[in-house]
Amino acid sequence: MAARIPDMPKFTVLELLKADPEAYRLILGKRGKPPRLIEDFFEVESTYKSMLQRTQAKRAELNRLTEEIKKKTLSLEQSRERGRKLKEEIKNLDAELANVKKRHRDRLLKLPNVIADDVPEGSSERDNKPIRYLGRPKVWSGHVDGFLQETREKGFGVDYEENLWKPTSHADILETTLKKGDTKQAGAVAESRFYIFDEICYLDFSLSAYAIDFMTKKGYFWVIPPYMLRKSVLIGALDFESFEDMIYKIEDKNLYLIGTAEHPLLGLYSGRIIEEDELPIKLVGWSPCFRKEAEAPMGKTLKASSEYTSSIR
């Protein structure tokens, strides 16, 4: 039986935050985020509203002064001095307001999306709850204890087949056994993961073609997106501050190389209001992916994903 698809959240972040802050606080807890994010947001929003009211009040005062000048109820010298002071105050307030507005937007971007009620609590993939296990896994005898501990902690008793021989890693099979790759030379010329050769190249392309064929047959629309995005689009697609060190920026341009096809797929609808009758929107994207490896020297390695050449999203 297929797993039940949870109901989609019925509130945006702002709607829930203002209608029921405590419910949103529970969502932060599920995501492992600090509840202080709520207080930080409301604190800056209060400052922003106060600054906006002060600025609007000064503009209204300047408008009244203009009317008084037209009616000649003030001397020219008085009106000039008051007008000069008001314009200077408005200029300073506008600068402060722009700064507070940026802080308000930054705080808003730190707030994670609303999640469905049945999403489990957790801060990493180790907290994920399996729905079911498929097939009969082959487990090396040296990993049996860990396999049993993990599956039982998740509430499953999984039938398995024990293997006495230790599996060879895919990297060793590629380079040592099949001799269809070269990591040493790739590291020397590009700090990249590897060159792949001959049949493995066909395999890589075939896996992408199979995935695209599989998804399009299920009604997904195939998109090859741009490989670079503006910062404003990335900010709307991910927690930019947390991932900035992993992203490649184009020098002297407001452009970044994509780390996954998912982000430009979101960009396809950036700035648009999607009507309910347009849903669901089903897209499958293919792209190379570029991001820095945390374990690489100085974080400079270029990584193309899917082990590691393409991304299907």
Instruction: Decide if 290 is inside a domain.
Output: yes
- Asked whether residue 58 falls in the same domain as residue 154, the answer is no
Task: Report yes or no on 5 lying in a domain.
Answer: no
208 with 305, same domain? yes
- Is 296 part of any domain? yes
157 and 81 belong to one structural domain: no
Statement to judge: residues 228 and 307 lie in one domain: yes
Domains held by the chain: number: 3
23 in any annotated domain: no
Which residue matches tokens 């230790």? 166
Distance separating alpha carbons of residues 109 and 26, to the nearest angstrom: 18
Q: Is residue 186 part of a domain?
A: no
- Is 22 among the domain residues? no
| Per-residue tokens: 176 | 């040592």
Within-domain flag for 204: yes
Q: pTM of the predicted model, to two decimals?
A: 0.68
One domain for residues 205 and 307: yes
Query: DSSP secondary-structure letter at 247?
Result: S
216 within some domain: yes
Place of tokens 């590629």: 174
Segments forming the whole domain that contains residue 148: 130-163
Neighbours of 7 (CB within 10 A): 9
Q: Which helix (H) or strand (E) holds 285?
A: strand 283-287
- Per-residue pLDDT tens, the chain, 313 aa: give them: 343 444 555 678 888 888 888 888 888 888 888 889 999 999 999 999 999 999 999 999 888 888 777 777 666 777 788 888 989 999 999 999 999 999 998 888 888 888 887 787 877 777 788 888 888 999 999 999 999 998 888 888 889 999 888 888 888 899 999 999 998 898 889 876 789 999 999 999 999 999 999 999 999 999 999 999 999 899 888 878 778 888 899 988 999 999 999 999 999 999 898 898 898 999 999 999 888 865 443 333 333 333 344 556 6
